[in-house]
Homo-oligomer: A and B are copies of this chain.
Amino acid sequence: MSDSGSTAVAAGEGPRYARIQRVLEERVIQGTYPVGSLIPTEVELAAEFDTSRFTIREALRYLRENGYVERRQGVGTRVISAEPHSTFLQSFGSLEELFQVALDTWFAILDTQRVVLEPEIAELVGGLAGEEWFRISGVRWTKPGGQPICYVQSFIPPRFEEIIPSLESHQGPFFSLLERHSDGKIERAVQEIRAVPMPPEMSRHLGLLPGSWSLQLLRRYLTESGVLIASFNWHPADQMTYVMNIHRSKPALDDNLGPGQRVRSPSRNR
């Protein structure tokens, strides 16, 4: 189609570095520069395109930011992928957005216990069977005395023993308080979503009939020293939809659709 690849500055519009960037990108995608190989050095490319090293670096910056190449001082620029990295994203301005409801709602603790992890639970919360963790159970409400939203059980590893009492009077998400008393910041979170029968005790607390079902959200917040907290949230199936927005490339900056969960209008029963 085009005769790009010739040494003449590539056809096209826009600044020089952008044109060179497109040529280099195509060479990577086409395999002219195979994955795993080193592409020509900055000086060589500058000579080929009859430009300065500055302009070449600007073009290579794009290739690096899009995951095509990695660059190392003393080595060179190596192709690591023939296609761009991460074309779709879901973004969260903060971890609270994962749990957006927390801000407008009210949480009542029912009890706090030391519990020994059974093998099944241990696997889910990220601990070892037999360890003694803390378990805080409670119900989230729209407002004090209002509608129940979900039943919550949070499992907290034993190393936070001193913090447990202060959690009971804490406003806001538990993980943010724990993060302040932890070595490192939260690096990662994992969320698992299932449909499970609502356990009888929880049905009672939420005012549901026995045998009803729930959408269960399990979130583990992880620091470099391990699990910070793992929380189960049982939502009545007919009141909960988990919604997520995935964007191409760059998330819209002004997108306040509130990624995360939304409570379904209670009219839709079946």
Q: Spell out A's residues near B (CB within 8 Å).
A: 67, 85-95, 97-98, 120, 185-197, 213-215, 237, 240-248, 251, 253, 264, 268, 270
Contacts and interface: CB of A to CB of B under 8 A. Distances in A.
A215 B195 contact: yes
Given A88-B91, A88-B93, A193-B215, 14 more contacts: A67-B253, A87-B92, A87-B93, A87-B94, A95-B246, A98-B246, A120-B268, A188-B246, A188-B247, A192-B241, A192-B243, A193-B193, A194-B215, A213-B237
B247 A187 contact: yes
**3 pairs of A and B residues whose beta carbons are closest in the complex:** A195-B195, A195-B237, A88-B92
A123 to B, nearest CB: 10
Question: Interface SS of chain A: helix, strand, loop or mixed?
Answer: strand
A248 B195 contact: no
B195 A86 contact: no
Given A191-B246, A241-B192, A91 B86 contact: yes
B89 A270 contact: no
A189 B88 contact: yes
A22 B44 CA distance: 34
Contacts of A93: 85-88
Contact of A242 (B192, B197, B251): B192
A270 B197 contact: yes
Contacts of A251: 86, 89
A86 B249 CA distance: 13
A194 B217 CA distance: 11
Given A197-B270, A237-B196, A270-B197, A245 B188 contact: yes
Given A90-B89, A92-B86, A245 B190 contact: yes
Given A186-B248, A188-B246, A253-B85, A237 B90 contact: no
A89 B188 CA distance: 9
Contact of A190 (B186, B196, B244): B244
A193 B197 CA distance: 16
